[in-house]
Each structure stands twice: as structure tokens, then as C-alpha cells.
């Protein structure tokens, strides 16, 4: 599901690659058969608005939104487990799930980072990806 890859990319820290690949993302959104037209339109507007910003402004806005507090953290298990030991075990379990599907993480990525989880789901059959989205919907 390319749509999950696009949303994942839009939730990552905005870097030069975002601007370099924006046309490909616009085209994929327009060609999507999985997104309702209203959602595809809204996603296209978000991408347009983001990529018309100065990159430094986009980065500052990203940091302000996602790096300043737990309420908007992109770390899934932070919302569920906080700083408890359960969070560590949940990450180990998720990492094993990734490895089972052939996804290898670099040492700086936490397995519960939402963009990474969306990329993982994008590799699964659509029905499994939808179930994975349902699992995190309450978060």
C-alpha cells in the first residue's frame, strides 16, 4: 500500500528527499485506488502546503509539533506504556515481528516510531495492513 509509505514519509522529519520526490508522491496519491477521493484530495493539499514551505520552516514546525511533548509523540508505545518496563518488552516484540517479515532496522530507529510502523504495514498484504492500522487506531 503505497499510501502508507506516503503518510509515513510525511510524518518523518522533512528533509531534502521530501522535496526531491514530491512529484512522485503527488502522482501516487492521484492514482490511488485505496483512498477515498476526499482523503486523496486532503493528502495532496497537505503535501502541497508542506512542500511549498521553506525547508527550514517546515523542519522548525515539525520539531515544534512532534519533539516538544508526549501528547504528540510519534512513538506509539509512549502513549500506551509511558516509561514503564512494559514498553521495552513491547518494543522487543515489535522488533521480532519486523524481523519475521524481513525488515531490518538501523541502530538509531525505535521500532515503535509511527512512520516506521506504517512502512512495515505497507509491506504486508492489504488485509493485514488494515488490521495493523486498526490496532493503533485508539492511540
CB 122 within 8 A of CB 2: yes
CB 137 within 8 A of CB 79: no
- Rounded mean pLDDT, 96-113: 82
What's the Rg (C-alpha) of the chain? 16
Q: What is the pLDDT of residues 5-62, one digit of tens each?
A: 999 999 999 999 999 999 999 999 999 999 999 999 999 999 999 999 999 999 999 9
CB 26 within 8 A of CB 44: yes
Of the two residues 137 and 59, the one the predictor is more confident about is 59
Is the C-alpha dihedral spanning 25, 27, 31, 35 positive or negative?
Answer: positive
**pLDDT of 107 over the 80 cut:** no
Residue with cell 541502530: 107
Q: What is the pLDDT of residues 66-98, one digit of tens each?
A: 988 777 888 887 666 657 677 777 777 888 888
Euclidean distance between CA atoms 92 and 98, whole angstroms: 10
Give the model's pLDDT for residue 126: 93
**Per 3-state DSSP, what percentage of the chain is helix, strand, and coil (rounded to 5)?**
70, 0, 30
**Residue 139 DSSP SS3:** coil
Amino acid at each position: 500500500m503505497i499510501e502508507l509509505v506516503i503518510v509515513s514519509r510525511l510524518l518523518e522529519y522533512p528533509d531534502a528527499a521530501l522535496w526531491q520526490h514530491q512529484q512522485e508522491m503527488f502522482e501516487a496519491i492521484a492514482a490511488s485506488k485505496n483512498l477515498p477521493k476526499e482523503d486523496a484530495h486532503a493528502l495532496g493539499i497537505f503535501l502541497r502546503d508542506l512542500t511549498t514551505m521553506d525547508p527550514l520552516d517546515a523542519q522548525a514546525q515539525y520539531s515544534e509539533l512532534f519533539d516538544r511533548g508526549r501528547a504528540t509523540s510519534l512513538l506509539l508505545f509512549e502513549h500506551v506504556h509511558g516509561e514503564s518496563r512494559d514498553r521495552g518488552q513491547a518494543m522487543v516484540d515489535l522488533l521480532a515481528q519486523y524481523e519475521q517479515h524481513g525488515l531490518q532496522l538501523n541502530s538509531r530507529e525505535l521500532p515503535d516510531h509511527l512512520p516506521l510502523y506504517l512502512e512495515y504495514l505497507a509491506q504486508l498484504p492489504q488485509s493485514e495492513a488494515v488490521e495493523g492500522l486498526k490496532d493503533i487506531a485508539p492511540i
